[in-house]
A and B are shown apart, each in its own frame.
Chain A
Amino acid sequence: MPPVAADRSFTTVSGRPVGELYTDESTATLDYARDLGDPGQFPYTRGIHPTGYRGRLWTMRQFAGFGTPEDTNERYKGLLKAGGTGLSVAFDLPTLMGRDPDHELSRGEVGKCGVNVTSLADMETLFEGIDLGRLTTSMTINSPASMIFAMYLVVAEKQGADWHTLSGTIQNDILKEFIAQKEFIYPPRESMRLITDVFAFCTEHVPRWNTISVSGYHIREAGATAAQELAFTLRDGIEYVQYGIDAGMDVDAFAPRISFFFNSHSDFFEEIAKFRAARRIWSRVMQDRFGARNPRSWQLRFHAQTAGVSLTAQQPYNNVVRTALQAMAAVLGGTQSLHTNALDEALALPTAESATLALRTQQIIAHESGVVNVVDPFGGSYFVERLTSDLEAEALEYFARIDAMGGMVEAIERGYPQREIAESAYRFQQAVETRERIIVGVNDFVAEDEPPVGILYIDESAGEKQLAKLDTLRRQRDQARVTSALDALRRGAAGADNTMPLLLDAVRAYATVGEMCDALRDVWGEYVEDAVI
């Protein structure tokens, strides 16, 4: 087989055709001051910090969680001891879907995909011996984001931390749940209310908290192209800003706390260009569309995670190489924090050993490769600049289409982004089937006999332990206090009160995630998606 077939099409992993050579003609319309700017200068194409990583490296934030809060607390302490510089909590599906371990739908799911957190008691255990006043924590939680955030705030308070200096992130991004990951509970508009309540609450009480992490990661994992990830994520960001303004807030009061989360996929240059385009688009949107005046409102800060979907179950050690290249793209694209996937994640949640190797990958990039010495080293590259502009143009076309539908909530209700992503996912799969696109170890360079790798196997014991703890909790807590807090929550949700103080009261009374979510289900109902192929 020749290494490259003569009729092979030269495209990115997103199917975008690329030329053989780029020259100064490719960037002829680009104006340095208008379109690039120095790092730290509008429109931030070259980065939000003037000194890049010289001032501070990105945060090495490894997403982790499994089994009981005790299991995960031990993993966190190990990651911090190994040099991790932030925490990132992976919750299990019952927690993500606002169901207690004793709910019918939770059977077989407790502790499997992440850590189970049922009540404040579990949150206290999760962060036992970890100083929340000094460390930043990111929590991947969406429909029950406010409930989990309220628990975090109460634990921090009990540890003696000051909410005004507390920093971290809740994902709190419901739009990408409707679009891609599908962990929604309430209908879109009620879900948006929970989010704007968090914006308003944090502006006053937790001013350094990232109130949302507008996420393209899951959109990309569901099959979107790089341009679709860019477009839908930033258009989601626009929707949140608009809803915040519509809720009566000043844009510069809450926009500086909006953060983003992107996938760092396999196509090296396309990803670098995507990150650069994201910063340029966002700064212009914030200035032109929303009239933001605070430079912090203009600056797009993001977390990146290497592409889980690119990992193969076949020859899993190859995943270390994939992840290293993807991580390099995120760093060259100027990420503020990074998660690198472990080699065994197409098979299971990572073992302690594979999680450490994933962290080591980042440390090698940071301390050995030399890429941190220069800010935006691809700035001025004919190819990368052209790709940056092309991705920007494609995203702006999507914005126009979604604006014409009335906004992202309306587009989601029509199933528009969902269909666009499903189309791209199917096209990619067909390209793999026909071997137009090669995946090493899967449709080429296949190994006949592969030695198995040891994986983390999570059995039913976490579920049994969490059920027993829930039973004890329900017998020991002040039930009247729980009932009264949940009643107040229902009344608040039916009216216009900010839900955060009501949730804090319920959390302090040791109401469970399932009980708090049910109280809101009583008032708002549940969203059911039209199943379309």
Chain B
Amino acid sequence: MAAVRVVIAKPGLDGHDRGAKVIARALRDAGMEVIYTGLRQTPEQIVSAALQEDADVIGLSILSGAHMHICPRIVELLRERRMHDVLVVVGGIIPDVDIPKLNALGITGIFLPGTPMQTIVEFITGHARARTSLTDSTGANQ
């Protein structure tokens, strides 16, 4: 099976990228292919990156409190572009009251401070589109 492809993104104006970088490395160490967008990406830029990179997963790192603006917009853009099979997960500081609202958008992978990396790896492995193709089964893509 081909490696799961993950776009890790830092939306909004915040520059605190410790979490984004640590999770990017942890996912890479777990065998995933990770693309880090860098800072201050708009929802449009993030979804375009996911499209170009043929990503299975978008991982958003949001600490600033702007998640209720950013997440609905990302989900909307994914719908518009028919990228239904892209899993969106969020890590950062998300108040309890917002979790049901994000769940209602279809975002169930919400990882708060202190979450073990292994929990995130397992969630992504369990929920990302399992991609198999002819090239993979012949081993030509190794």
Contacts and interface: CB of A to CB of B under 8 A. Distances in A.
Partners in one complex: yes
Interface of A: 93-94, 96-97, 99, 104-109, 112-113, 177, 181-184, 221-223, 309, 312-314, 346-348, 422, 425-426, 429, 433, 439, 442-443, 452, 455, 457-458, 528-533
Given A221-B18, A314-B114, A346-B93, A533 B28 contact: yes
B13 A182 contact: no
Given A113-B64, A433-B117, A182 B22 contact: no
Interface stretch (B65-73, B83-91, B101-109, B133-141): B65-73
A159 B46 CA distance: 47
A223 B118 CA distance: 20
Given A109-B64, A112-B66, A429-B26, A93 B12 contact: yes
Interface of B: 12-18, 21-22, 24-26, 28, 34, 36-40, 42, 64-70, 93, 95-97, 112-114, 116-118
B50 to A, nearest CB: 15
B95 A348 contact: yes
A347 B36 contact: no
A455 B38 contact: no
Given A93-B12, A93-B14, A108 B113 contact: no
Given A93-B13, A177-B15, A221-B18, A109 B66 contact: yes
18 contacts: A105-B40, A107-B66, A107-B69, A108-B68, A109-B65, A109-B66, A182-B15, A183-B15, A222-B18, A313-B112, A314-B114, A347-B95, A425-B22, A442-B114, A458-B65, A528-B38, A533-B21, A533-B24
Given A347-B93, A531-B38, 7 more contacts: A183-B15, A221-B16, A223-B18, A312-B113, A455-B95, A533-B28, A533-B36
A222 to B, nearest CB: 5
Contact of A93 (B22, B64, B118): B64
Nearest to B37: A531
A432 to B, nearest CB: 8
Nearest to A315: B114
Nearest to A96: B13
B105 to A, nearest CB: 15
A313 B13 contact: no
Contact of B21 (A106, A109, A181, A422): A422
B99 to A, nearest CB: 12
**Most chain B CB inside 10 Å of its own CB: which residue of A113, A348, A452:** A113
B116 to A, nearest CB: 6
A177 B15 CA distance: 9
A346 B113 contact: yes
For the complex of A and B, list the 3 residue pairs with the smallest distance between their C-beta atoms, beginning with the closest.
A108-B69, A182-B15, A531-B38
Contact of B66 (A108, A429, A528): A108
Contacts of A108: 12, 65-70
B126 to A, nearest CB: 19
A142 B46 CA distance: 27
Contacts of A528: 38
Contacts of A183: 15
B13 A94 contact: yes
* Residue from A182, A223, A309 whose CB has the most chain B CB atoms within 10 Å: A182
- Residue among A105, A221, A348, A531 with the most chain B CB within 10 A? A531
Contacts of B18: 221-223, 309, 425
A529 B39 contact: yes
B41 to A, nearest CB: 10
Contacts of B116: 433, 443
Contact of B114 (A112, A312, A425, A457): A312
A429 B20 CA distance: 12
A531 B39 contact: yes
Most-contacted residue by chain A among B14, B112, B114 (CB, 10 A): B114
Contacts of B67: 108
A284 to B, nearest CB: 32
Contacts of B96: 452
B98 to A, nearest CB: 9
A305 to B, nearest CB: 15
Contact of B36 (A429, A458, A531): A531
Contacts of B34: 533
A2 B21 CA distance: 35
Contacts of A184: 15
Contacts of B64: 93, 109, 112-113
Contacts of A457: 95, 97
A371 to B, nearest CB: 31
Nearest to A112: B65
A105 B28 contact: no
**Which of A107, A309, A442, A443: most chain B Cβ within 10 A?**
A107
Contacts of B69: 107-109
Contacts of A348: 65, 93, 95
A503 to B, nearest CB: 22
Given A93-B14, A105-B12, A529 B93 contact: no
A182 B17 contact: yes
B21 A313 contact: no
B70 A433 contact: no
Contacts of A109: 12-13, 64-66, 69
Nearest to A452: B96
Contacts of A422: 21
Contacts of B13: 93-94, 96-97, 99, 105-106, 109
Contacts of B95: 347-348, 455, 457
A109 B64 CA distance: 7
Contacts of A105: 12-13, 40, 42
Contacts of B22: 223, 425-426, 429
A428 B93 CA distance: 20
A234 B21 CA distance: 25
B66 A313 contact: no
Nearest to A422: B21
Given A93-B13, A433-B117, A533-B21, A113 B65 contact: yes
B21 A425 contact: yes
